[in-house]
Structure 1
């Protein structure tokens, strides 16, 4: 994907949940912002899991808002909204696969924003 940033793989570590960090990061995408919030609040130390949880929240909220806005625009908005669902599915699958592979996969806007938020939360 053009514009996406992938950094090096992480060595397998465990998260606060007792799962491997890759499994926890993957699960943070499963139900969008719901599991993202769960893993964001549950995980205290592992930045990899926190990053993917935050990116899950940002992406799912962005798709939800965009879908809602497009629903109010007759015809063109409805057509674009219909195209948004397959795009969201592809983004969701890519994020889960990359998280499971242990990669810091950043989408152009959501990734840097998520990384900044996680870094701010980690500071005392």
Structure 2
């Protein structure tokens, strides 16, 4: 499904997708592998923004859960970076099934 030369040539872009998801959208838009990880990075970014906004609005309980949500975002980013570095096309837990970019 994914070309091995595409994976080897775009591992750096795939890793970068979890830090700055828009860089692979600009620099490696022809790579199916980089675009997959850019989608995962964008989905993670949006999920983290929503979690931060919602939990910051909810008094006390939300404020207690906010650091845990941010820790979860960091863990998911690390899982994505590791998968990208290993050349894997593996969806992130919980949010990986959603596709934003086509």
Give the shorter-chain TM-score range.
Answer: 0.7 to 0.9
Number of residues paired by the alignment?
102
Are 1:21 and 1:48, in contact at CA under 8 Å, matched by a contact in 2?
A: yes
1:77 aligns with 2:62: yes
Consecutive unaligned residues in structure 2, runs of 5 or more:
none
3-state secondary structure, aligned to 1:112: coil
TM-score relative to the length of structure 1:
0.70
Q: Counting strand residues as a fraction of each chain, which structure ranks higher?
A: 1
1:27 aligns with 2:12: no
Compared with structure 1, are the counterparts of its residues 47 and 9 closer, same or farther at alpha carbon in structure 2 (3 Å cutoff)? Answer: closer
Counterpart in 2 of 1:87? 72
TM-score relative to the length of structure 2:
0.83
Task: Give 1:10 shift.
Answer: 6.0
Counterpart in 2 of 1:42? 27
1:13 aligns with 2:2: no
What RMSD, in angstroms, separates the aligned Cα atoms of the two structures? Answer: 2.4
Task: Give 1:12 shift.
Answer: 4.1
